[in-house]
């Protein structure tokens, strides 16, 4: 079965892709990454990425966390589920991801940017609130009561 419309990569696919993220809070700080590529380039977000064939969503969250940041954690139960749908100027769907974020218990490692992120850091609530967060990450952090909602 064809996965795309003739274009390579993650854009303009026929079906949504499934992504997973790991929400790691350690010593009062949350681990965030700055996205280095589209979609989300330049925004700070929860570490995560696409689920690979044969991998559970939880396994993907743990693997992507390790690949992007060098931090190891054990994912718990799914906490936050959302669709990311981005349309181009003509209204065509450029990206569609179904993303599941898991709270994850920190096991070890110090953050370092790798894979498709340009930065990875532990952030206090005040530091996180001041960042250029992706809209879904901001909503998640408010729901977690890690940061306050901007009014």
Does residue 9 fall inside a structural domain?
A: no
Residue by residue, DSSP assigns 61-81 as HHHHHHHHHS-EEEE-S--EE
Give the domain extent around 81: 18-143
Does residue 121 fall inside a structural domain?
A: yes
Number of domains in the chain: 1
Give residue 148's pLDDT.
Answer: 92
Give residue 7's pLDDT.
Answer: 44
Does residue 48 fall inside a structural domain?
A: yes
Does residue 8 fall inside a structural domain?
A: no
Profile the chain (151 residues) by mean pLDDT over runs of 10 residues. 47 93 98 93 96 98 98 97 94 95 98 94 97 95 92 56
CATH number of the domain that residue 83 is part of: 3.90.79.10
Answer for the pair 100, 80: CB distance below 8 angstroms, yes or no. Answer: yes
Distance of alpha carbon 43 from alpha carbon 62, whole angstroms? 21
Strands 72-75 and 117-123: unpaired
Does residue 57 fall inside a structural domain?
A: yes
Does residue 7 fall inside a structural domain?
A: no
Contacts 24+ apart (CB under 8 A), 52-60: 57/18, 57/20, 57/100, 57/102, 58/20, 58/102, 60/18, 60/19, 60/20
Does residue 75 fall inside a structural domain?
A: yes
């Amino acid at each position: 079965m064809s996965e795309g419309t003739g274009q390579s990569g993650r854009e303009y696919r026929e079906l949504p892709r499934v992504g997973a993220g790991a929400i790691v809070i350690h010593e009062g700080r949350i681990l965030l990454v700055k996205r280095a590529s589209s979609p989300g380039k330049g925004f700070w977000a929860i570490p995560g990425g696409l689920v690979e064939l044969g991998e559970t969503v939880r396994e993907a969250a743990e693997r992507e966390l390790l690949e992007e940041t060098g931090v190891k954690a054990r994912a718990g139960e799914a906490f936050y589920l959302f669709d990311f749908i981005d349309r181009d100027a003509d209204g065509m769907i450029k990206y569609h991801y179904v993303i599941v974020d898991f709270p994850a218990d920190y096991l070890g490692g110090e953050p370092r940017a790798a894979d498709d992120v340009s930065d990875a850091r532990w952030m206090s609530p005040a530091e996180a609130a001041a960042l250029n967060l992706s809209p879904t990450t901001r909503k998640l952090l408010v729901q977690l009561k890690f940061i306050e909602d901007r009014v």
